[in-house]
Amino acid sequence: MANSEGIGGVHSFLLYGKETTWGTPVTVNSHFGTDTSFKATINNNLKSNRGFKGTTTGGRNVIKFSSGVLDTSLALGFTVNRWNFMEFVTGAEGGAGPYTYDEDDVPPSLTIGSNIDNPGGSATDQLMTYQGCVVDTCAIKSSVGEPVTVNMDMKCQYGILSTSLSTPVALPDEEVYNFSGASVELPSSSAFPNIIDSLDITIKNNWRLHTGLGDRRPVRALPGEREYTIKITYKYLDNDLMTAALGATTPTAVGGPTEYATLVCNFVLGGKSMTMTFSGVPIGDFAQSHDLNETLSEDITLTAKSLSCSEDRSV
């Protein structure tokens, strides 16, 4: 049978495995969640070499291309059934009910298998095995009427092409977390009083992949500074959050915004739950919107010093 075009998620699937050593591939046998999108980008960083005129051409035209550092990056999206992916975001998983996800200096890496089962012929099936994958940015979003979604940007050592597909794994047979089970406490144990339209959590690890002389492929991965950003869009209720953003009703010449001891983001689904506790949380940005005949809205963007998480998978 002739080769045929494929349909994402019908003729393709994605699996991962946790690496013991960065860049040493392992068997891929787990889903991130209910996977919804995947994009791989391979950049050869080609260099255009030009020179003085020869017998035929020169100066303006490229004489030769040379390859620079090999950059491989992945972007994937999924809805959340459980939170074990957080180990690769924060760095450490512990416990067994509740499970904890705490900070570690060097989060573990993954092997990711991107599979395309060519509907026309198996000879051109495609398995791209991306090794040494690390979570550079993780964005978690909960908004009214929507499931809780995650989008991850990853950096990888490189990918290897094969026509032998990974062994398929059954999809998670679990409910998907959604907005109706989400809440915010600022600080902890103090329910956020405003009607919340959306909650966006962004975690950056700022990984750096290092390449040395003699090999255009990365040979080591090291994380940079850790960054936490939380954006909450909500309906106006009172002056409390504007005052906290100012630091006082009249901003002072020195000092800054109110720093909350904690910000707690709760995600609940039946007997299951995930609690994310951010510590040392000031308001970095505040915005207020007035639109004719619409409810007044505000949004705040907070930063945090640290994060700890606890997941209960009871049903």
CA–CA distance, 205 with 195 (Å, rounded to integer): 31
Residue type, 146: E
**CB contact set of 187 (below 8 Å; sequence gap of 6+):** 260, 261, 262, 263, 264, 281
Among residues 126, 124, 108, 103, the alpha carbon closest in space to that of 116 is found at 126
DSSP, residue by residue, 257-307: S-EEEEEEEEEEETTEEEEEEEEEEEEEEEEEE--TTS--EEEEEEEESEE
Task: Sketch the domain layout of the chain as residue ranges.
Answer: 12-43+69-167+174-312
Q: Which of 69-78, 117-126, 218-227, 288-297 has the lowest mean pLDDT?
A: 117-126
List the Cα angle 135/137/143 in 5-degree steps.
125
pLDDT tens, position by position, 36-95:
999 999 999 999 999 998 887 778 889 899 999 999 999 999 999 999 999 999 999 999
Among residues 226, 265, 20, 219, the alpha carbon closest in space to that of 136 is found at 226
Residue type, 300: I
CA-based Rg of the chain, rounded to a whole angstrom?
24
H or E element at residue 90: helix 87-90
pLDDT tens, position by position, 162-184:
999 999 999 988 899 999 999 99
Q: Is-above-0.85 flag for pTM? A: yes
pLDDT band at 1 (very low <50, low <70, confident <90, very high): low
